Structure 1
Amino acid sequence: MKNNFLYALFLLISTSAMGQVDLTWDDLAKIDYTEKYFPAYESDFLYPEFSKEIVNLQGKEVSVSGYYLDIDPNGELIILSKNPLASCFFCGNGGPETAIEIQFKSKPDFETDDVVLITGTLKLNKDDVEHFNYILTDCSGFQLK
Structure 2
Amino acid sequence: MTKHFFWTTVFFFTVFCVQAQQEVTWKDLADVSFTSEYFEDTDDYFLVPDFGKSVEELEGKEISITGYFLSLSPSDDIYMLSQNPMASCFFCGGGGPETVLEVKFSKKPSFKTDEVVTITGKLKLNADDINHCNYILTDARGFAL
Q: Is the 8 A contact 2:73 2:79 kept in 1?
A: yes
1:42 aligns with 2:43: yes
> Which secondary structure does the structure 1 equivalent of 2:117 belong to?
strand
Q: Which runs of 5+ in 1 are unaligned?
A: 1-12
Equivalent position of 1:119 in the other structure: 120
More helix per residue: 2
Q: CA RMSD in A?
A: 1.7
Identity %: 51
Give the deviation of 1:76 after TM superposition.
Answer: 2.3
Q: Is the 8 A contact 2:77 2:108 kept in 1?
A: no
The 5 Å alignment of 1:43-82 reads 43-72=44-73, 74-82=75-83
TM-score (norm 2): 0.85
The residue identity in structure 2 corresponding to 1:24 is T
Equivalent position of 2:21 in the other structure: 20
Equivalent position of 1:134 in the other structure: 135
Q: 1:73 to 1:104 in 2, by over 3 A?
A: closer
Equivalent position of 2:6 in the other structure: none
Q: Which runs of 5+ in 2 are unaligned?
A: 1-13
> Which secondary structure does the structure 2 equivalent of 1:46 belong to?
strand
CA distance in 2, matches of 1:15, 1:32: 33
The residue identity in structure 1 corresponding to 2:114 is D
Equivalent position of 1:3 in the other structure: none
Give the deviation of 1:133 after TM superposition.
Answer: 0.3
Runs of 4+ in structure 1 off by over 4 angstroms are 13-16
Q: 1:108 to 1:15 in 2, by over 3 A?
A: farther
Q: 1:24 to 1:15 in 2, by over 3 A?
A: farther
Give the deviation of 1:30 after TM superposition.
Answer: 1.4
Give the deviation of 1:74 after TM superposition.
Answer: 2.3
TM-score (norm 1): 0.85
Q: Is the 8 A contact 2:122 2:140 kept in 1?
A: yes
Q: 1:22 to 1:135 in 2, by over 3 A?
A: same
Give the deviation of 1:15 after TM superposition.
Answer: 8.5
> Which secondary structure does the structure 2 equivalent of 1:65 belong to?
strand
Q: 1:58 to 1:30 in 2, by over 3 A?
A: same
Count of aligned residue pairs for this structure pair:
132
CA distance in 2, matches of 1:116, 1:52: 27
